[in-house]
Amino acid sequence: MSAPIRVSVQVQPHHQPVAAMRDAWQRAEALGVDGLFNWDHLAPRFGDLDGDVYECWTTLGAMAEATSRVQIGPAVSAITLRNPALLADMARTVDVLSGGRLILGLGGGGWERDLLDAGYPLGTARSRLEELERAIPIIRQRWREKSPPPVNGTIPIMVGTNGEQLGLRIVAEHADGWNGLGDPPEIARLSAVLNRWCERVGRDPAEIERSVLLIYPRQVDRAAEYVEAGISHFIYSVRSPANDFEPVERLLAWRG
């Protein structure tokens, strides 16, 4: 049996005031989406690179209080920016604030501007993924040990990566979900790579939810192709400050 299709929205915490972000979060929930995400950058990724920007996790705390039904989380939190024990406690806190609705999205966090402007070493793509692999067991262990625990006992971990040699192996070994980026043929190819990693590490590939981050309205028109490629969770990134929900509405109408 195929997995039910889920539709989520990513709202970037930059180039807009807090009131506009809150309005976008509540509008997304009212539309009937399943999840609501932000991202983890210390400076805007597009537009005025010195424009207004809000930190990921404090923004998620506000999102937890402003919504009541949708799952929430970062897509994705950069493992390079925070000690894993601290990140575990931040996630646990937001999970409790939201009543158990958190998805912990994690990634290698390799955007140079974030790292260098904040005084972090840049490292390499591989060293950042190795840091992620070391961090996930620490995070899960801390959830087991600290009080109060996550509302549902644990928190689902989604890893965002297109890395075939290391990233997707980390997904196979450690994650509850995978988030990829690309058009359907690329996602289908990467999903097959993930299946092979699951076979190598002895993991049932059906245990891993597969999601895609959509950044162009044209990608919505290929939703059926993404499903054929193995995707069951669509995360559409509305662009601030416009926050155009028309592609999200089309996704929801297509899903029915």
Is the distance from CB of 172 to CB of 166 less than 8 angstroms?
Answer: no
- The 8-class DSSP code of residue 153 comes to S
**Helix orientation angle between 167-174 and 184-201, rounded to the nearest 10 degrees:** 60
Contact 123, 78 (CB under 8 A): no
Alpha-carbon torsion, ordered 186, 159, 222, 30, to 10 deg: -170
DSSP 13: S
Q: Which residue has the tokens 């539709």?
A: 7
pLDDT of residue 1: 45
Q: Torsion angle, CA of 61/65/70/76, rounded to 10 degrees?
A: -10
List, for the chain, all residue ranges whose pLDDT scores fall below the cut of 50: 1
Q: Identify which of 216, 146, 142, 203 has the alpha carbon closest to the alpha carbon of residue 169.
A: 203
As a whole number of angstroms, the distance between CA 187 and CA 210 comes to 10
Is residue 80 a contact partner of residue 128, using CB atoms and an 8 Å limit? yes
Q: Which residue from 103, 88, 110 is spatially nearest to 36, judged by alpha carbons?
A: 103
State how far the Cα of 27 lies from the Cα of 162, in Å rounded to an integer.
Answer: 30
Which pair of tokens denotes residue 196? Answer: 């092979």
Q: Residue 37: enclosing H or E segment and its boundaries? A: strand 35-38
pLDDT number for residue 2? 73
Residues 6+ apart with CB under 8 A from 33: 7, 8, 9, 70, 248, 252
Task: Give the three-state DSSP class for 149.
Answer: coil
Bridge partner list, 6: 233
Q: Domains plus CATH for the chain?
A: 6-255 (3.20.20.30)
CA distance 65 to 89: 18
Position 118 scores a pLDDT of: 87
